[in-house]
Amino acid sequence: MKKWKRSSRLVQMTWEFIQHPHRLFSLGFFSERYQAAKSSVSEDLAIIHDVFQNEGWGKLETVPGAAGGVRYIPGMNRLATQHLIHHLCQQLADPGRILPGGYLYLSDLLGDTTIVRKMGHTLASVFSNDGVDAVVTVETKGIPLAYATASHLGVPVAIVRRDSRITEGSVVTINTVSGSSKRLGSLSLSRRSLKEGARALIIDDFMKAGGTIRGMVDLLHEFRAEVVGVGVMADALVEDRLVQHYISLTTVTEVDAEKRKIQVVPGNILDRGGFQNG
């Protein structure tokens, strides 16, 4: 087996960490793979860690002990987060988004894989210490953001359906009332898609009164799952919110269809601490 140079090792390791956030790699794994001394691997890891930290991408975390190793924990520093949020606010405030009924067209943003990946990276950073086992979302528009978040947390996604489908097997269904429009509906989740007692993170694109997310919380209780957090791309200012604790990237404070004006401000994500230094 050929011996790897440091330069090649750095490229290879960077790839592995990016592709597998939160996965623990033992030093022995890298050392054997590259036919390199563990001390050399440790130096490689220090270089990667420094670049990740300086760029505000997260960190390499060392887990000591025989079963230990190193893993990449995606993080986001305050500056990079502010930059993303500012960009999102600008994009969302485009009056061309206003649809009949005061709804907003969001599919272009949610179809942009680069922005979605960054939003997912940011939300994953917020919840990276919460021991998330699975990300849960509801069809359809929240799915991309849920995947991006889950992929940065290294966990699977479970998709709640608005009507139960034959291809989901046995499901748990609850009936819901939409908080804003008082519309009746139902939410179903396949029994197999979530382990009992799982620590679940709920991700969605947009929250008004929060009726759908409230419904997801109730549905997850049926799985004895613990909801460790809720994250959304945008929330709207409403009086009677059904969900109290959540993280939003942006807040839509006003949609005036007549004046063709949308006002969007940074969400509560910037109010919290816990940002990576740098």
Q: Residue 141 in contact with residue 111, Cβ under 8 Å?
A: no
50 is a site residue for a second copy (CB under 8 A): yes
Total Cβ atoms within 10 A of residue 59: 19
Q: Residue 60 in contact with residue 52, Cβ under 8 Å?
A: yes
35 is a site residue for a second copy (CB under 8 A): no
- Longest CA span, the chain: 70
Nearest distance, CB of residue 272 and a second copy, angstroms? 25
* Segment contacting a second copy by CB under 8 A, of 16-24, 76-84, 252-260, 269-277: 16-24
58 is a site residue for a second copy (CB under 8 A): no
Residue with structure tokens 């139902």? Answer: 186
What is the secondary structure of 91-129 as a DSSP string?
HHT-GGGB-GGG-B--HHHHT-HHHHHHHHHHHHHHTTT
* Segment contacting a second copy by CB under 8 A, of 110-118, 213-221, 222-230, 255-263: 110-118
Q: Residue 11 in contact with residue 43, Cβ under 8 Å?
A: no
Q: Residue 88 in contact with residue 145, Cβ under 8 Å?
A: no
Within 132-161, the residues that bind a second copy by CB under 8 A are: 139-141, 143-144, 147-148, 150-151, 154-159, 161
Tell me which of 32, 103, 130, 177 binds a second copy, using CB under 8 A: 103
State the residues that interact with a second copy by CB under 8 A: 6-8, 10-12, 14-15, 18-20, 47-48, 50-52, 55, 57, 99-101, 103-108, 111-114, 116-117, 139-141, 143-144, 147-148, 150-151, 154-159, 161, 166-169, 190, 192-193
